[in-house]
Chain A
Amino acid sequence: MSTLEIKDLFVSIDTEQGNKPILKGVSLTINTGETHAIMGPNGSGKSTLASTIAGHPRYTVDSGSITLDGEDVLAMSVDERARAGLFLAMQYPVEIPGVTMTNFLRTAKTAIDGEAPALRTWTKDVKAAMAQLRIEPEFAQRNVNEGFSGGEKKRHEILQLELFKPKFAVLDETDSGLDVDALKVVSEGVNRAAEESELGTLLITHYTRILRYIKPDFVHVFVDGRIAEEGGPELADRLEDEGYDRYLAADAAQA
């Protein structure tokens, strides 16, 4: 079993108006085999947490720690984190012109594993994973995310999750912008990845809808850069009924 541990994390970004704190003391422990849902209103810092775990240069960690089985994740470069077993399914995957999906997937797999995948089984694995995610075979020859629809981009993020087999996956609003069918396909992919290997999942979402297809073990509610409430799956049901209003009201009263 592996453990991803986030301790008292403070993160800020530099804006034109100066330094702006976003995460204000977040602590969270995720073990492989567990699914944690992070929910919260817009601007609560959910995506900042995702990007900080992956090491996006825009975010400055002011204090606190992130460790993977005791190893200091914050000391690792972006690519080292990926090789250590962290995967971020991005909210807005970028286009990489001139690089075909086939070439990209093979290069990334080689980088993550430290050796090239066996060509025959790899090609078969890619084809099978694409078929399960209802990705048309011709996408293999298209450039990474170039001209992909929102739903196609998200399915390709999950394709990578299934092929790269990380220890921990952070899914940054993978459900937003998906119709019900695409949501089901994507959720099935995440569930497959979780079953095949003891994946630890950090599922970041604004909506409860995806939690009908991916069952969380733990739910954490983010408000204003902190975890406002934690609980089991029943907390998600409550949020479905009540929304985030009661946290925001409490927050406003405190301020």
Chain B
Amino acid sequence: MTELTEEKARIGAPSAASDVRRIAGMNEEGEQLSEINPASSPLAGEATKSHSHGGGVGIPDSSRAGRLTSYNVADFPAITGREEDWRFTPLKRLRGLDRVALDGAAPQITVEKSEAITVETVARTDARIGTAGIPEDRVSAAAWGAFAEATVVTIPAEHVPADENDVTTLTITGVDSTPAASHILVHAKKFSTAVVVLDHRGSAVVSENVEMIVEDGAALTVVSIQDWDDDAVHASSQQVKVGRDAKFKHIVVNLGGDLVRITPSARYAGTGGDVEMYGLYFADAGQHFEQRLFVDHSAAKCKSRVTYKGALQGDGAHTVWVGDVLIRKEAEGTDTYEMNRNLILTQGARADSVPNLEIETGLIEGAGHASATGRFDDEQLFYLQSRGMQEDVARRLVVRGFLNEVIQQIKVPALEERLREAVERELSAGVL
């Protein structure tokens, strides 16, 4: 694929693919930093330890470890758009999610599930709320303060699905455009296996918190599909706590909405945890799809793999991918790799891609990141056309192939089929 270094595609951090295994100032013992700033200084401690291409030494929020977390919205200052966390987001299009009371009606949830799975609506005082997540930004905290009831999905211990299409689906349908808050908790008990789909549709202006708990030895897949109507605004903080030897697979699919901002965070509660994060997004003219993920390697011998792929077409289509991976000092034996690929199909679209890898110990299995943004260019089109394909067939072939790498990871045939159809729809609805 052509590496783009000019015009529309702006690659925020390392411009092309890169692989980090050896880092300056690092040896087998860990990082060898001189004491430039004392730990008490605001410009010190975690901030200076970042191996971040995005921020820079001395900027307090340049390290993900130092990011403020709180259940209380008042702890977060008003968003100006200059923050690292918000610099790509068109705040005007948030429709007030960052500054008004989120007292609208929460999207309605209908459930499809097998008998063994429990889905309850609980009060905000339920003891389980807050066990996996704590808001990492103002919009998430606003929702935390405002939601009235939460939906709790419980997968009993040692549950095994009947077959590959046996999934629990929460269809989350927006009711109106009054800013609202929503809260969902998915709890996979010990040694259980399950797939949970959060299927967002309709129109809404909503800030959502999703907590996910994967107990020891469990294997949970959560697929969050954002297939909103064109005017929807959706911020979703999706935080997971991954138990000892547990497996968690997270798949984010952004297809519809005016502004969609998904911020998944994974934390490990024990050793041997395995996190796979996939993302697929297809932005059309005027759509802003932002995905900012965080993998917090705080336990030893855990693994993470991140693969996000996006296609963009049409004027003003904008996607943002920020991948923060932090390997803390205690996370020895970590094995992590994150990758983002974007395919720009037309003029006027823009993809920002920023991988950030911070490493506080040298005793790791591997750590790498890669980012590439390419254009479906005239030479590729010529090649395919010279093989008899019409332009739309050629584009379809390329986009399908490009996004299929993510779709085939879902492993739920019915859902894969739906997403393939959705990609086809995006292609035929586009300006091609």
State the interface size on chain B (CB cutoff 8 A): 26
Complex partner residue of A94 from B383, B389, B393, CB under 8 angstroms? B383
Q: Looking at the complex, which of A37-45, A105-113, A131-139, A214-222 is the stretch in contact with chain B?
A: A105-113
Report B-chain residues with C-beta under 8 Å of the C-beta of A97.
Answer: 1, 374, 398, 401-402
Partner among B374, B387, B404, B405 whose Cβ is within 8 Å of the Cβ of A108: B387
Q: A94–B379 contact, CB under 8 A?
A: yes
CB of B34 closer than 8 Å to a CB of A: no
A82 partner residues in chain B, CB cutoff 8 A: 385-388
CB contact between B383 and one of A83, A96, A107, A112 (< 8 Å): that residue: A96
A96 contacts B380, C-beta separation under 8 Å: yes
- For residue B86, CB closer than 8 A to chain A, the reply is no
Binds B, one of A10-18, A54-62, A118-126, A188-196: A54-62
Chain B residues near A104 (CB-CB < 8 A): 384, 387, 397
Chain A: interface size category: 20 to 34
Which chain B residues border A236 with CB–CB below 8 Å? none
Q: Separation in Å of the B56 CB from the closest CB of chain A?
A: 32
Q: Of residues 368 to 399 in B, which have CB atoms within 8 Å of A's CB atoms?
A: 374, 378-380, 382-391, 393, 397-399
* Most chain A C-beta atoms within 10 Å of own C-beta, residue among B374, B378, B384: B384
Q: A79-B389, A99-B397, A111-B389 are in contact. Are A56 and B382 (CB under 8 A)?
A: yes
Q: Is the CB of A77 within 8 A of B387?
A: no
Chain B nearest CB: distance from A100 CB in Å? 7
Q: Are A111 and B402 in contact (CB under 8 A)?
A: no
Chain A CB within 10 A, most for which of B374, B378, B388, B389: B388
With A57-B378, A94-B383, A97-B1: A108-B401 Cβ-Cβ less than 8 Å: no
With a cutoff of 8 Å between Cβ atoms, the chain B residues found around residue A94 in the complex are 379-380, 383
B380 touches A107 (CB 8 A): no
Our pick among B380, B393, B400 for the contact of A111 (Cβ within 8 Å) is B393
Give complex CA distance A90, B374 in Å: 22
- Cα of A8 to Cα of B375 in the assembled complex, Å: 37
Contact B388 A111 (CB under 8 A): yes
A interface, CB within 8 angstroms of B: 54-57, 77-79, 81-83, 87-88, 90, 93-100, 103-104, 107-108, 111-112, 143, 160, 164
